[in-house]
Structure 1
Amino acid sequence: MPYRPEFGGRHFVYRHFDSSGNLLYVGLSSNRRARYSTHKYRSPWFSQIARWTFEEFASREAAMAAEREAIESERPLHNKTSMQPGTKVRSAPT
């Protein structure tokens, strides 16, 4: 049976940093390998990544709340939602 995140599993908030320690991006994933591949081929800033950290959460909702808080408070350079004042970060489903 293929992995189905909606049925549970592991939920991560990850952060990409450059070699100077600047926060490039904050994201959420239940499949770190697939997300890495997506960034590798679709993110023009991918070559700047020097370090990638992960924080695991018990639920997707908890991870989404942590991601939202991190983007709003840490202001990563390449999160589109953190680049535009007044733009709302996605919220956890109710």
Structure 2
Amino acid sequence: MNDNLHIDPQHVRNLATGLTTIANTPVTSTFLPGETMLGVGKFISAFNAAVDSVTLRARIQCAYVDDAVAKTLDYVRLVEEHDAALGQALEHGDD
């Protein structure tokens, strides 16, 4: 069993940047016409309401991304700082 944690900071940064780019893409709704049509109007109205709801939830989730990315990048920075400090301590034989 391998209990080592392997983190590639640059890969994490690339993923975070990509996530930010995707989250900043505008989320739009495309509604179907025909809500007043006999027979299918109620279905189309319900479908459009569902699309609107999903779009709203997607916008809310995208709003969380900036905070999550900022925290992730802070953690990566801390890991790198601790790794560098540990490396120096081991190199110099410090306790």
TM-score (norm 1): 0.26
| Structure with greater Cα Rg | 2
Q: Which has the higher helix share?
A: 2
TM-score (norm 2): 0.26
Q: Which has the higher strand share?
A: 1
